[in-house]
Structure 1
Amino acid sequence: MKDFFYAIQDLFVDYLFAPFDALRALELENWFAANIFSWIFMLIGFVAFVYWMKQLKTYNDNNEEDKSISSHSFL
């Protein structure tokens, strides 16, 4: 069983995390290139935020939301 967990460790450390090791070495030369994954995730989040706000504005402009005071039974 111990060999099984060492195999998982070797898989991740030697193969799957190799691109991140290369980015860590690049960090001393170019900060923006070393943080490319962070920039990509921030871009995806920004695009999702803009899309969500656009959808909310569409529903608000169509007056599809029930904004009456008694819209919920507990109010």
Structure 2
Amino acid sequence: MKAFFEGIQYLFVDILFKPMDWFREMELSNWWTANIVNWIFIAVCCYWTWYWTKELKIFKDKGQDEQDTTAHSFLK
């Protein structure tokens, strides 16, 4: 059983998180590049938030959205 958990440790520490060690070392020379993963995540979240609100506006303009406060039976 111990070998199983050591295998999981090896997978995450020595393989999957190796790029994170590189970013951590890079932080001292260039903060912006070291945080590229965060910037990509922020850009993706901003895009999908914009897309979601655009779709909500389309449904609202067509009158297809239901603004019923009793959407669930237990709220009646």
Residue of structure 1 in register with 2:8 after alignment? 8
Cα 1:27/1:67, change in 2 over 3 Å: closer
Cα 1:67/1:17, change in 2 over 3 Å: closer
Identical residues among aligned pairs (%): 44
1:7-47 alpha-carbon deviations (Å, 9 max, x no partner):
22122111111100000000001111111111111111000
Q: How high is the TM-score relative to the length of structure 1? A: 0.82
Alignment of 1:7-46 (within 5 A): 7-46=7-46
* Unmatched tracts of structure 1, length 5 or more: none
SS at match of 1:51: helix
Rg (Cα) greater in structure: 1
Cα 1:23/1:67, change in 2 over 3 Å: closer
Q: Give structure 1 regions of 4+ aligned residues with deviation exceeding 4 angstroms.
A: none
Number of residue pairs matched by the alignment: 72
Q: How high is the TM-score relative to the length of structure 2? A: 0.81
Residue of structure 1 in register with 2:49 after alignment? 49
Cα 1:64/1:22, change in 2 over 3 Å: same
* Unmatched tracts of structure 2, length 5 or more: none
One-letter code aligned to 2:48: A
One-letter code aligned to 1:36: I
- CA RMSD of superposed structures (Å): 1.9
